[in-house]
Structure 1
Amino acid sequence: MARRHRILLVIAGLTAGGAERQLALLTQHVDHCEFDIGLLLFNSRDRIHYRGVIDERIWLRTLELSPTEDGVKLIPRLISGIRNAIAEWSPDLIHTSLNIANHATRFSALISRWKTPIVTSIRADFREGYSARDRFLERMLWRRTNYFICNSGVSKQQLIADLGVNESNIKTIPNGVEDKFFQTNIVEKPKWWPRGRSCLTVARLKDGKNYLELVFAIKYLADNDKLGDWNFVFVGEGPQKKELLEAIKKAKIENRVVLVEPVEDLLPIYHSADVFLLPSLHEGLSNVLLEAQAMQLPIIVTKEANRAAAVDAEHAFLIDATNFGPQLESALSSNKHELVERGILMSQSIRQRYSVERMVSETCEIWRSLLANHV
């Protein structure tokens, strides 16, 4: 019997997030008869949100690093942790996701001179979603990547144009949406769900997700007596939580906004909402946008968050990323029948375009090609 190829997946952690969910899905749906999967996480095991990855078939190591520790001080521990994991498990190929893992793994390869091929997964808009520091690091390290995977064509074209990545070494593989998000069975609302109609936002609580601008827009509606029976549910965690709570209190809209931490099963959340809103300043290909469409929710999204065309502009409500109170008012004032129709129309093409099977199959094909050429 032929030895299974060992694939080491590397990411900072499996906290709640779109990229993290995609890696968890890849881990769970790959053919374990063909590939032996290892998982290296930089943070602690108790911070794993997607518990399905804890499987006896998967080699799992965590470096137990705290996200609050000083980044510069973490570098030696990251480099040595990656080197030790490779020495212990001897992977045939390494697949990294998100900037911390992407940068640290390639830096470790250059410092330690190990030759294992690397697949780098880019999940954000390179020009708008990367900080100046991260763009600098990518320019320094990208040549150590054997193959790039992007989840949107926009990111792919930016890497080709801005870095000079060869078109034969990069591919767009869209996110996969789980089948469960296409079910139409009635799911009971969470007991804490607000009365009236609800507008849902699911995103990390950080600057780029633009929550503070959303608070200003809700305040605009309240000040102009345009809220009606609308309430807003924010699902997320992150460094901006304290600032966001203070902004909600200052705007005097505490009775209209519910802030909850991420849950592993988002189905009841999506089912309970009337509209999904994503106010981000930038996105690669947003996982929650795809899931919300699969659930037939009408979509309100900033033009900046839809650069990857995750949402059909003809059927969504596209808004600006700043001062969008009047645009939000217009969208929420649509009659219920129009909202339902928009949701149904956007759901129809999602299953074919964004299947988990396609995402896993195309990723594995890249692995096979690199492994064949590396032998």
Structure 2
Amino acid sequence: MPDFNKTKIMFVLPALTAGGAERVMITLMNGLDRDRYAPCLVSVSDKGDLHDLIDQDIDFCTLKQKHLALGWTGLFQHLRREKPDVVISTMAHMNFVLLTMRPFFQKTKFIVREAITPSFLFNKYKKTSWLIKLMYQILYPAADAVLSPSQIIFDEFRDVLRMSSKNFFVLNNPVNTKTIRACYEALSKKDAAHHKSVHFLAVGRLGRQKGFDRLIEYLPRLSLPYDWTLTILGEGDEREHLESLIRKHGFEDKVFMPGLVRPPWQHYLQADCFLMPSRYEGLPNVVLESLACGVPVIATRESGGIAYIRDHSPKGAVRVVDSMHEFVQAMEQVKPGKASHKKSLLNDMFEQKAVFRHFVKILHMVQR
């Protein structure tokens, strides 16, 4: 039986695929105080690998539709039936659909989260960019709050779309530093050997966005006085293409793709440097997790809020480069390390408790 004294918050996702935006939403949902909030989750599709991240006490519903275009009517009916106090969504297409429903739910507050720069969508969907711009300008002002992990995203709303930022709030991606460090340090006690080679690590969905293809294409230019390996964790549609590039350059004994690994901390333990060759990002979770493990980062400037992370990290912890040529040059400066305890490089502002406090403040403000 529902507790009418609690605020019912419905989180909505297109699917449970293993992406950063989905993980952030689930983390925020799991972290809500159950004495004050009744969180639930709705996914348009039942596909994805993140089911096991959802806390067992959270009501979970899937509309079992392949695409949002097929699931919007079911989503509308679900909202009418459940009557949530607050709805929170992420990703532009999901946000657009929910905000068109807003006039029919006057008592419900709508919060949307934008994880990438609008310009990326304009460039990706050039023929319909005019429509995307129009939907941003018409629908986003109707949201009770627009969340983003990086100020650079909001800067585009202001400078490119000429939109007011009165309902915009920066909310850092939360990192469970305590859990990560506990797992990481337990592993480090078992393996304190010195490396004789440099171990690079990259993590993310195997898609064009992540830039793993251009990283592999540039690896023949890498000149190190040490042996080296690169491990890429993740799954996606680009696996076959990436494997063909590995074979093309004869890197079968240097570049490894073991798939989606959870928890991944053993790989972070072995890593001397984390690589992010992305073509675009929001505020990359994997970079924050790498810093929590004490592993420095090399990243492309296109990696969303990477400069924001760099500016709030110890000097030298995050190196931001402007080209893949510079990326490889930065890799050449990495030396073999020791698989043992490494001090966290992550700023406390990204720690889960700090982010949750800010999130709750935004919820309180929206509900006033």
TM-score normalised over the length of structure 2:
0.85
What CA distance in whole angstroms lies between the structure 1 residues aligned with 2:196 and 2:71? 47
| Partners of 1:48 and 1:89 in 2: CA distance | 26
The residue number in structure 2 matching 1:127 is: 119
- The one-letter code sitting in structure 2 at the alignment partner of 1:356 is Q
Within the candidate set 334, 355, 358, 1:359 is matched to: 355
TM-aligned CA deviation for residue 48 of structure 1: 4.0
Q: Determine the structure 2 residue equivalent to 1:282.
A: 280
User: 1:145 and 1:195, CA in 2 relative to 1: closer, same or farther beyond 3 A?
Assistant: farther
State the alpha-carbon separation in 1 of the partners of residues 200 and 121 from structure 2. 25
Match of 1:99 in 2: 92
Say if 1:121 and 1:150, in contact at 8 Å, map to a contact too: yes
1:82 matches 2:81:
no
In 1, the alpha carbon distance for the partners of 2:168 and 2:320 equals 30
Provide the rounded CA distance (Å) in 2 between the counterparts of 1:335 and 1:227: 10
TM-superposed CA distance for 1:214, in Å, is 0.4
State the Cα deviation string for residues 12-67 of structure 1 (Å, max 9, x = none).
Answer: 123222222211111211011111111111111x62425131423x221112223x
Report percent identity of matched pairs.
Answer: 21
Separation of aligned partners in 2, 1:102 and 1:2: 27
Structure 2 portions without partners, runs of 5+ = none
Q: In the alignment, what sits opposite 1:209?
A: 210
Query: Which stretches in structure 1 are left out of the alignment for 5+ residues?
Result: none
Decide whether the 8 Å contact of 1:319 with 1:327 is kept in 2.
no
- SS of aligned partner of 1:47: coil
Kindly state the Cα deviation for residue 294 of structure 1 after the two structures are TM-superposed: 1.0
TM-superposed deviation, 1:143 = 2.9
2-side partners of 1:209 and 1:219: how far apart? 19
The residue identity in structure 1 corresponding to 2:22 is E
Which stretch shows the higher mean deviation, 264-273 or 201-210?
264-273
1:114 aligned residue:
105
Aligned residues between the structures: 349
- Corresponding position of 1:261: 259
Quote the Cα distance in structure 1 between the aligned partners of 2:205 and 2:113. Answer: 19
- Check whether the contact 1:82–1:108 (CA below 8 A) recurs between aligned residues: no
Cα deviation, residue 146, structure 1: 1.8
- Alignment correspondent of 1:10: 12
| Superposition pairs of residues 213-362 of structure 1, within 5 angstroms | 213-221=214-222, 226=224, 228-305=226-303, 306-312=305-311, 314-315=315-316, 316-324=318-326, 326-332=328-334, 334=335, 336=337, 344=343, 347-348=344-345, 350-362=346-358
Three-state SS of the structure 2 residue aligned to 1:163 is: coil
1:126–1:187 CA distance, 2 compared to 1 (3 A): same
Could you tell me which residue of structure 1 aligns to residue 149 of structure 2?
A: 151
CA distance in 2, matches of 1:139, 1:249: 46
Pairs within 5 Å for 1:32-43: 32-43=34-45
Other structure's SS at 1:124 match: coil
Could you tell me how far 1:101 is from its partner in structure 2?
Answer: 2.0
Give the C-alpha shift of residue 92 in structure 1.
1.1
Displacement of 1:307 in angstroms is 4.5
Contact kept, 8 Å, 1:196 with 1:231, in 2: the verdict is yes
Cα RMSD after superposing both structures: 2.9
For the 8 Å contact 2:219–2:328, the answer to whether it is kept is: no
User: What per-residue deviation string (whole Å, max 9, x for no partner) do you get for residues 318-362 of structure 1?
Assistant: 333434464144333x4649x999x75xx34x2411011122222
Aligned twin of 2:366: 370
Residue matched to 2:180: 181
Q: Distance in 1 between matches of 2:4 and 2:64?
A: 34
Cα distance in structure 2, aligned partners of 1:321 and 1:140? 36
C-alpha separation in 1, matches of 2:61 and 2:196:
44
For 1:325 and 1:86, the matched residues in 2 are separated by 47
Distance 1:109 1:212, change over 3 A: same
- The 1:128–1:331 alpha-carbon spacing in structure 2 relative to 1, beyond 3 Å, is farther
2-structure distance, mates of 1:200, 1:129: 28
Question: SS at the partner of 1:214?
Answer: helix
Contact 2:212 2:277 in 1 (8 A): yes
